[in-house]
Structure 1
């Protein structure tokens, strides 16, 4: 198992794996529309796929994410659902 340091509380790490670089960039662009302050790194994936790693600043949401994040905060006492790992 790979050990990685967790991002700071106001950041999230996002991994995109796509068949083509264009598909990975389209997803990254959608995230850029919602979140400010992104760092992007790309790597070749297996079988010619593209891996795109993003660091998203959740403390500075932009556009539609601002209202969505305000209403989607986890309630105290709620945990994972039975179908989640």
Structure 2
């Protein structure tokens, strides 16, 4: 766990700094992509972590949505026409 630094700067009001630590850069980027779908954000910054891991930092605007949000009901419905057809066993 990181120790807070006395003179650490904080993001502006309405923004949050997110730090992702992952075993691989691909895993960190995948998580960042999901976050960016929900919140507008700044360019991500990537740093090497201990033992070959990756640290990815990004700042997001928690007051602005990046994409229109969809309800749980909408996202949980199966795709139309994706089921079996009448003539299929």
Segments ≥4 residues shifted beyond 3 Å: none
Distance 2:33 2:56 in 1: 12
Cross-structure match for 2:48: 44
Give the number of the structure whose alpha-carbon radius of gyration is greater: 2
1:29 aligns to 2:45 (yes or no): no
**Under a length normalisation based on structure 2, what TM-score does the superposition of the two structures give?**
0.66
| Partner of residue 71, structure 1 | none
Structure 1 runs not aligned, ≥5 long: 68-85
SS of match in other structure, 1:31: helix
1:81 counterpart residue number? none
Q: Which runs of 5+ in 2 are unaligned?
A: 72-89
User: Does the aligned pair in 1 maintain the 2:14–2:63 contact within 8 Å?
Assistant: yes
Q: Residue 32 of structure 1 contacts residue 38 of structure 1 at CA under 8 Å; is this kept in 2?
A: no
Aligned-pair Cα RMSD in Å: 1.8
